[in-house]
Amino acid sequence: MSLLLDQPVWRVIDQSSLGSGFDGRQSFAVDDTLCRSVGAGESPCTARLWVHRRTVMLGIQDTRLPHLNDALQVLRRAGYRYAVRNSGGLAVVLDDDVLNLTLIFSEKEQPLSIDESFQAMVDFTKKMLTPFAISFETGEIARSYCPGRYDLSTKGRKFAGISQRRIRNGVAVQIYLCVGGSGPERARLIRNFYKMGLQGEKTRFAYPNIDPLVIASLAEISGQRLTVSMIITAILRTLQSLGRVVPSALSDRESRQFGIYYERMIRRNEKAFGNDAIHPQQD
């Protein structure tokens, strides 16, 4: 178990039930805000829970597809919002059955390696899933969407991916957990996104050749009827086993800082998408 997880206090911000008014740009601005607070020593290490309805979070490379507008039309027709995030990786599908967790650490006193921070999230997830008798391997699932060294999978079927963001001595490690729903259905959406975005053209960047059968939800993998609320409860219990848990919201100072980071996210998306930067929520 990573020593990073043993904290005297875990601050918890639960934004998992904010609904359709809470979009992806806001979410990543919140993580930047908390990164700054934790890195400055103004906040203890923080866990944030978040859910977005029918949203595809794109990576920077996704916005460089040769036929981006055609690719975005695939998402619009399927009733998905989209935004480009400021952390690493490629396109990821979020919906009501996908739970996101951010663990935010400080490296004010001691630098944290990239692998050390990733491993902390792997260890946390392993401990959190133990009551469900779900075990997994860590390593890239090449034909998944958003493949990476820290993909989490069971028997070659990926259910989670991890990314990382660093700001001013704060380290935000973000994981998406496909709890329920259809993994292959999510994968087909992103496969069609890349098919229309590339239209057979060769590009310098190698976009994933997605096989829908290598993506699955925890419910599909385990055969259990799992829900986001069940996993949230497991996360909170795991945090309580590691330190004192303090439910929280953004402070006044953090709320002001959030406005600055949110404006940056708006500008980032306007630069990437122009007039298509904001797409109405489909319920």
User: Using an 8 Å Cβ cutoff, are 214 and 141 in contact?
Assistant: yes
| 85/149: higher pLDDT | 149
Q: Show Cβ contacts of residue 204 under 8 Å, excluding neighbours closer than 6 positions.
A: none
Burial of residue 110, with CB atoms counted within 10 A of its CB: 0-12 exposed, 13-18 middle, 19 or more buried: exposed
Residue 213 banded pLDDT, cuts 50, 70, 90: very high
Q: Residues 47-67: pLDDT tens digits?
A: 999 999 999 999 999 999 999
Residues 6+ apart with CB under 8 A from 180: 97, 217, 218, 219, 226, 227, 228
Catalytic residue check, 35: no
**Res. 283: pLDDT tops 60:** no
Element (H, E) at 58: strand 55-58
Question: Which option is the CATH number for 3-276: 1.10.645.10, 3.20.10.10, 3.30.930.10, 3.40.50.1580?
Answer: 3.30.930.10
* pLDDT beyond 80 at 280: no
Give all strands (DSSP E) within 155-259, no chain letters.
157-167, 170-178, 244-247
Confidence of residue 276 (pLDDT cuts 50, 70, 90): low
Which residue has tokens 């990314």? 163
Summarised one tens digit per residue, pLDDT across range 155-177 is 999 999 999 999 989 999 999 99
pTM over 0.75: yes
Sign of CA dihedral 277, 280, 282, 283: positive
Helix-, strand-, coil-residue percentages of the chain, each rounded to 5: 40, 20, 35
Which amino acid does the sequence have at 101?
Answer: L
Domain ranges of the chain: 3-276
